[in-house]
Structure 1
């Protein structure tokens, strides 16, 4: 079972701007398109920065630089907002560096990078570093839109039959709101444990209730052949 790759979840039609794009045009792009951010690319379509709504707000916070600026002891983020308040183009207000990922990376790697980097989106680049898509947190949630019946078929065919070679009549699989319940009997305890772990790893599964019984406990290390 392969989990979804970034390419299957990302948004391919990406609105982008250049470093010389004027401040007012950036504001229009964000508001008209209902975007929270827009990538800044160079002449080869390689992402070099990103401008978010938060990057434009210092212009209002400091009234375009007319309000008193931060002290010399202010935090770096505060000084950055002050500089952005004076910005007139994307080059002045964009945030760098850009967090990127490849289109062939698994969804789990993307989710991990989003969490570790503390960003809301990843810019998807090809092997030449050119922008080919954007993957947001919302895009990753698409894996949970699979129907219960689709999930049930995957568990039955991929986990039980193809991987564990379990007879279809031996285990009952029920899926409600993405939660899978396994009932039935398998030969060994290890099979029940593996069935649980593999089912939980199926993309789109929310949780697994494992009610499988087993015959031989092959995980009992106290058993010895005398």
Structure 2
């Protein structure tokens, strides 16, 4: 990329890199929630290449100065978050204790949703072998999952997916990154194989009936 930053129209930007980093930080801090990368580019008046350079410099600055915040990149959105090493202080401030952490069942349910989304409660129950109503309710209360639509099937069951809060809490910038760093849980692999086997058996029986 060129030494000078340019706007989307090709006009030299009057702000220097430090000024743009400062403006970006103020923008994300004031928003308090994820902001689309494209909106940041539009507001700052810079190109995609310039935006990437500013983000790289900002990440480096946050790390070099040991600041208490970090830059979160959630799919195509940006947000400010706190450094993981400061979690203990935030828990003390918010009065959070370890008993409020996720149970084994909740983590199991969350993993299924993260890897299989969008997924219905019945599909989750089939994999876990138990009813997941209570766990799903708790995960929604914590803001880790949400309803993402209805499945085109009898009864139109609700579909679940993970939220930005899930990515933030577990330190992922995207679902793609999560799946790349973490292989599909063995239980899900076994369930997928069994489901395919059952579908194949049903198809074979159907073909035999026709003959």
TM-score (norm 1): 0.26
Work out which structure has the larger RCO, using CA pairs closer than 8 Å and 6 or more positions apart in sequence.
1
Larger radius of gyration: 1
Higher strand share: 1
